[in-house]
Amino acid sequence: MATKHTRTLVTAALPYANGKIHLGHLAGAYLPADIYVRYLRSMKRDVVFICGSDEHGVPITITAEQEKITPQAVVDRYHAMNRSAFEKFGMSFDNYSRTSLPLHHETAREFFLRLLGNGVLTEKTESQFYDEQAGMFLPDRYVEGTCPVCKNPDARGDQCEKCGTFLNPTELIDPKSRISGKKPSVRETKHWYFPLGRYQARLEEYIRDASGRDGWKQNVLQYCQGWFREGLQDRAVTRDLDWGVRIPLPGFEKKVLYVWFDAVLGYISGTKEWAAATGDPQKWKRYWTDPSTKYVAFIGKDNVVCHCIVFPARLVAW
């Protein structure tokens, strides 16, 4: 028997705080979400609309280095700019939050520690590029080279934008550091991983049920099925970087949570911030832990894997 929904949580993909939003962004994820929320409100439904800035990750640190400012200065600039743009356009978010807030860092660390305590995460030693001249490990986007699949000479260490292939930096042909421009060496480092493949059967069932019940778009379903056919692999949860949510573990003080892991948790921390502002700090749980709440996410096509496969798997594991 289907669960009767008494409230709706709506989220719109967190825009990256490393550039200006434009009409394409608004037309893609935000305007449709706003129209849907306004409709629910007109029907006197219980609905909360959450968004905010995604403020961690390598592109932000690269911008900071290029401009010789701090990453915080970069995200402060674009968060304010994009929030103002949304306000001028009339977006009706109940809360527009940001992932650099202490509340978000606390939420992300709590999520990480719970998965770790439940034995979900696994520690692995892996080979990673290291810039000898800069004296630092190189996270994926600090490395560029030729894609081993389509031979695009400008592929990033995490993904080839031309053919869409997700990559490990060490798979690149003729890699070079974005810091020094030199060919990096390879050193060993330790990271925590999330075993995504362990949840594949549950995810396939979830997506099959959701597609029939909620009318998922065919291109989204096909994208997910493509990932299932290839078999879901472990995904790194931590990375060697100065900017981000710090890992609260001995020996991992110089590592942060991978942005794919912490960013979507911004929906939860953003709901927590909203709840606190209403005077009822525990109110967020009604929208995230009560099965009578319907969750609707408005995303762009580049957000499909994270929102339709990775995030649901982590919520199941949590």
Question: Which of 12-26, 81-95, 208-222, 256-270 comes out lowest in average pLDDT?
Answer: 208-222
The position carrying tokens 């968004």 is 51
Q: Using CA atoms of 136, 110, 306, 224 in order, give the dihedral in degrees to the nearest 10.
A: 130
Q: Report the pLDDT averaged over residues 25-44.
A: 95
- For residue 113, give every residue at least 6 positions away whose Cβ sits within 8 Å of its Cβ, in sequence order, or none: 248
Alpha carbon separation from 313 to 4, 290, 310 (Å, rounded): 23, 18, 5
The CA distance from 254 to 189, in Å, is 11
The position carrying tokens 């590592």 is 255
Checking if the pLDDT of 251 tops 90, the result is: no
Output 251 or 53, whichever has higher pLDDT: 53
Q: What is the residue-averaged pLDDT of the chain?
A: 92
Q: Report the pLDDT averaged over residues 229-256.
A: 90
Checking if the pLDDT of 153 tops 50, the result is: yes
The position carrying tokens 């379903």 is 221
Note the helical H segments in the chain: 23-25, 31-42, 58-67, 71-89, 102-117, 200-214, 218-230, 259-263, 266-277, 284-288, 304-305, 311-317
The CA distance from 23 to 9, in Å, is 24
Query: Helix 71-89 to helix 58-67 angle, to the nearest 10 degrees?
Result: 110
Checking if the pLDDT of 221 tops 50, the result is: yes
Sorting pLDDT into bands at 50, 70 and 90, what band is 139? confident
Checking if the pLDDT of 1 tops 60, the result is: no
Give the DSSP H/E element, type plus range, for residue 155: strand 155-156
Helices and strands in the chain, H and E counts? 12, 13
- For residue 27, give every residue at least 6 positions away whose Cβ sits within 8 Å of its Cβ, in sequence order, or none: none
End-to-end CA distance of the chain: 24
Sorting pLDDT into bands at 50, 70 and 90, what band is 168? confident
Q: Report the pLDDT averaged over residues 110-139.
A: 93
Question: Over pLDDT 90: what percentage of the chain?
Answer: 71
Instruction: Give the pLDDT score at 3.
Output: 55
Checking if the pLDDT of 4 tops 80, the result is: no
